[in-house]
Amino acid sequence: MPDLRFDHRVAVITGAGRGLGRAYALLLASRGARIVVNDSGGDLSGNGVSAKPAEDVAREIAVAGGRAIACTESVATPEGGEAIIQAALHEYGRIDILIHNAGNTRHASMKEMTQADFDAVVDVHLRGAFHVSRPAFPLMCKGGYGRIVLTSSIGGLYGDRNIANYCLAKAGVIGLSNVLALEGAPEGVKCNVILPGAVTRMAGQRDTSSYPPMPPELVAPVVAWLAHESCPISGEMLVSMAGRVAKAFVAETVGAYRPAWTIEEVAEDMPTVRNTDGALTFPPVPRGFYDHIEYSFSRARAHSEEPAASGRSRSSET
């Protein structure tokens, strides 16, 4: 296979001054992309501003022969998101790729989490994804091409203790990605989600001594493929952790049907409701939302069309 290159493509990467974002920026730049290295340079909690992380990465790319500019605007506000995209337009005249990777952490249990802790994390991870996607998306649609990669987490799928703010934000990113994938499909714009795992400063509060090798460079090729023009998928989630790459997806059981329910019947049919044999998937693209509705409606129609004297139970035929 020939090298997958990004010549003449412009990529905006948020949180690119360190860790995963830096690895993404260096890899795409090495393959010809022109980069906006966005990073406000704050600490893990999101406080503070420093131009050094973004400028260091932009300089590293330039020394290697690539093209990059630093941008320290914050994704946490609509104005910051707009300014980040405008930096790409001002310097390069276009935007082809958006990778939202910026993140922060504020650990607290649900008993102790403050509103400030909640807002600070949601503002960067979830609202930040919207703040940069909102100005970038119409530009991509107008140009008939775009690749958007949003960052979620296994915490967004499965939850974790003491980071409700983070898990909620990462779950929300998945919904945003599905909408961008759906609305972008007729416009040549694809959007997918990466669920990465790497030992970076974000893992600082965990004991990583028993972890296998997990550098950001193991994740970067997966993100680069999602950002490449040859990527055929949209509205999907890829996991990349410790060298394993996998697809994550939402599934449903076949379930049970009754034309009317009592509380007792819900309890009675719960083994069928929870039986995962023959699980169903409804991919967001091209029409998972409507396929889901149609499937549920078809069960009701099938029941209404049964002969009244069939003798069938009202309970859960599949």
Segment 155-182, tens digit of pLDDT? 999 999 999 999 999 999 999 999 999 9
Rounded to 5 degrees, what angle do the CA atoms 35, 247, 27 make? 20
What average pLDDT does the segment 113-134 reach? 98
Residue 211 has pLDDT above 90, yes or no: no
Q: Which helix (H) or strand (E) holds 173?
A: helix 164-184
Q: Looking at residue 306, what is its pLDDT? A: 64
Name the strand (E) or helix (H) holding 28.
Answer: helix 19-30
Q: What pLDDT is stored for residue 238 in this prediction? A: 98
Domain boundaries, the chain: 10-248, 251-304
Looking at residue 221, its pLDDT comes to 98
CATH H superfamily, domain 10-248:
NAD(P)-binding Rossmann-like Domain (3.40.50.720)
Read off the pTM: 0.93
For CA atoms 138, 79, 87, 121, give the dihedral sign: negative
Q: Name the active-site residue from 158, 166, 211, 295.
A: 166
Residue 313 has pLDDT above 70, yes or no: no
Based on the residue annotation, tell me whether 166 is a catalytic residue of this protein. Answer: yes
Q: Categorize the per-residue pLDDT at 307 as very low, low, confident or very high, splitting at 50, 70 and 90.
A: low
As a whole number of angstroms, the distance between CA 250 and CA 178 comes to: 12
More confident residue, 241 or 303: 241
Q: What is the Cα–Cα distance from 243 to 240, expressed in whole angstroms?
A: 7
Cis peptide bond N-terminal to 286, omega within 30: yes
How far from the centroid of its chain's Cα atoms is residue 7's Cα? 25
Tokens of 257: 């049907």
